[in-house]
Copies of this chain bind each other. A is one copy, B any other.
Amino acid sequence: MSDIEIARAAKKKSIQEIGTKVGIPTEHLLPYGHDKAKVSQEFINSVQDRPNGKLILVTAVNPTPAGEGKTTTTVGLGDGLNAIGKKAMICIREASLGPNFGMKGGAAGGGYAQIVPMEDMNLHFTGDFHAITSAHSLLSAMLDNHIYWGNEQQIDVRRVAWRRVVDMNDRSLRQITSSLGGVANGYPREDGFDITVASEVMAILCLSNDLKDLQKRLGDMIVAYRRDKTPVYCRDIKADGAMTVLLKDAMQPNLVQTLENNPAFVHGGPFANIAHGCNSVIATKTALKLADYVVTEAGFGADLGAEKFMDIKCRKAGLAPDAVVLVATVRALKMNGGVKKDDLGKESVDAVKKGCANLGRHIENLKQFGVSVVVAINHFVKDTDAEIQAVIDFVATQGSEAILAKHWADGSKGSADLARKVVEVVERGKSNFAPLYPDEMPLFEKIETIAKRIYRADEVIADTKVRGQLKEWEEQGYGHLPVCMAKTQYSFTTDPNRRGAPTGHSLPVREVRLSAGAGFIVVVCGDIMTMPGLPRVPSAESIYLNDDGQIEGLF
C-alpha cells in the first residue's frame, strides 16, 4: 500500500480522545474538524509549573536522493515509546502549501509511521501559514502606506529590507517594481516576494515563548533603513500589535495523531537555511509538560539541523535534549560511499563501510554538544544483513550503538527496540548539554567555530564588507546573537557533490543578514532560493477531486 492508502485507511480517534490521552480537557481543545485541534493558551498557562519530560532530537546523516526517513523515524519512535508503555508525544513541523503544487506533496512520515490527516496537513491545515502570510502582508502594506502618507520615519526607499510573501511557488514575483501608476499608488520602488515559510514572522512564531514575546520580537524586526543608515523597526510602523492579533490562533500548537492514535503537535515550519528549521518552541515546551518523552526533529542533516536546534532553538528556549537519535539508511550510506542512485539495489558492504565516514563525523559532532547519540538504521526492504551489520559494527567503534528500526513496515512493533534503547540511554542520564559556543563570542568567531568544529573546514573566507557588517552589528548590540548557517544540506562543505566526510575545504561566506526579531544572524554560504518556481509540468495539473470527493494527484 502507498503512504496515502495507508493514511486513508487509518482508524482515527476523535481529537478529543487524543487530547484526553495527554490530559487536555475537551474545553481547552479548539477543534478544526474532527481530527485536528489547537490547544488553548489558558491550558498552556495552567501546566507551566509541571516538571518537564525528556526531550529526544531526531536528526540524520547528510541527505541523499536515497531518502533517510527522518520524519518517519520521529513518528516511529514516538509510537514505539508509547508501545513500550511510555507516555510520549511527537513534535514536528507543518508543511508549506505552495511547493505541493510543484512537486507532489508528502506524508508526515511514511508507511506505518505516519501522522494524519495527511490531506489537511498538505493543504490549509489549521490556517497557521495563512495567518503568517496575512501578518506579513499587513506590515508590507503599512510600510508602503507610511511612505505614501509622508514618510515621517524618513525611510530610504532604496533600503527597504522587508520583502513581501505569498505561500505559492511563483518565480514571477521574485523581483518586481511596485507602486506604479501615478500619484494615487505611491512611490515606485523595487520589491519582491519570498515564499511564506521564509518570512521572519515564521521564524519568530516558532521561537516565541508566548504572545507577549511574539509581539516584542515582531516589533524588533528591521524593515528598512534611513538615509543615515539607522534601522526602522516594525514597531516604528506600529504594525506589531495588529500582527500579533492576526497570529493569536496561529501561536497555539496543533494537535493531531499518528496512525497508532498517539498524540503529535504539528506546529510551525521555518526554512531550514535562512531560518532555524525547527517546529515551534511553544509546541515543544507544551509537549514536555504533557508527556514523559517528547520526540522532535530538525531540518536537513545534523550538520545544519541539529546544530541549529542546539545553538538556536535550545539556547533561546532554555531547552536541553536528553538524547539524540541519528537516522541513517543503508542506501544513504551507500550513496555517501560513492554508489549512484540507480545502483542502490545491489549489495555493497564496502560502499556502506566507506559511507559510514559521514555517519561517524555526525556522531562525533553531536557528542561535542554533550549529548548521548543513538543511531537508528531506518530499514529498507532491500537492505542485506551484511550491510546492516557493517553499520552496527562501525557505530560500535564510535562508542555508540546502532539499532535497526522497522517502523515503516511494522509501526511501533518495528521501533520498540529503538524506543527501549532511547529510554535506556536517557535513564543512564549522562547527557550534559551545552551549545557549541557562548553568547559572548564575537560573531565571526561563532561562524569559525561552526565551520571548523562541525564542517571541519580549514578556514572561513569572507570579504571586508561581511566582516565590517558583523562588527557594525556587534557595535549596535547584536553581538550576542547566535548565527544561522545557510549552506547546502548535501555536504559538510558548500559543494553539494562532496559526500562522505570531506576535509581540506574552506567556507566562503557570501553575505550576512540580520533577523533582529527572530534573534539570529543569517550567514549565507552559496545560493539560497527564498522563492521556488514551478516545474515545466507542475503537479497541480493533475490534482483534482475524484467522484468520491477524495483528492487525487496531491501525493
A515 within 8 A of B: no
Interface-facing stretch out of A28-36, A281-289, A329-337, A414-422: A28-36
A405 within 8 A of B: no
A543 & B245 in contact (Cβ 8 Å cutoff)? yes
Which chain B residue has the least Cβ–Cβ distance from A187? B172
Please encode chain A, from 127 to 156, with 1 for each CB lying within 8 Å of some chain B CB and 0 for all others.
Answer: 100110110011011101100111000000
Residues from 510 to 553 in A contacting B, C-beta threshold 8 Å: 533-534, 536, 538, 540-545, 549, 551, 553
A213 to chain B, nearest CB (A): 12
Complex Cα distance, B139 from A538, in Å, reads 12
Chain B residues whose C-beta falls within 8 Å of the C-beta of A175 in the assembled complex: 179-181, 185
Query: Among B123, B148, B542, which residue has its beta carbon within 8 angstroms of that of A241?
Result: B542
A141 & B127 in contact (Cβ 8 Å cutoff)? no
Complex Cα distance, B241 from A238, in Å, reads 41
A61 within 8 A of B: no
A172 & B144 in contact (Cβ 8 Å cutoff)? yes
Copies of this chain, tallied across the complex:
2
Which chain B residue has the least Cβ–Cβ distance from A97? B134
Chief secondary structure at chain A's binding surface = mixed
Chain B residues whose C-beta falls within 8 Å of the C-beta of A31 in the assembled complex: 31-34
A244 within 8 A of B: yes
A242 within 8 A of B: yes
A142 to chain B, nearest CB (A): 6
Which chain B residue has the least Cβ–Cβ distance from A140? B170
Which chain B residue has the least Cβ–Cβ distance from A100? B242
A372 within 8 A of B: no
A73 within 8 A of B: no
B127 & A148 in contact (Cβ 8 Å cutoff)? no
Chain B residues whose C-beta falls within 8 Å of the C-beta of A242 in the assembled complex: 101, 540-541, 543-544, 553
Chain B residues whose C-beta falls within 8 Å of the C-beta of A123 in the assembled complex: 245-246
Closest 3 CB pairs of A and B: A241-B544, A175-B181, A130-B130
Interface-facing stretch out of A3-11, A47-55, A161-169: A161-169
Q: A124-B134, A181-B192 are in contact. List 19 more A-B contacts (CB 8 A).
A: A123-B245, A124-B131, A141-B169, A144-B171, A145-B533, A145-B534, A145-B538, A148-B533, A166-B166, A171-B184, A172-B185, A175-B180, A175-B185, A176-B179, A176-B180, A215-B545, A238-B540, A239-B541, A248-B549
Query: Among B142, B170, B185, B244, which residue has its beta carbon within 8 angstroms of that of A141?
Result: B170
A348 within 8 A of B: no
A211 within 8 A of B: yes
Which chain B residue has the least Cβ–Cβ distance from A239? B540
B137 & A549 in contact (Cβ 8 Å cutoff)? no
A241 & B178 in contact (Cβ 8 Å cutoff)? no
A508 within 8 A of B: no
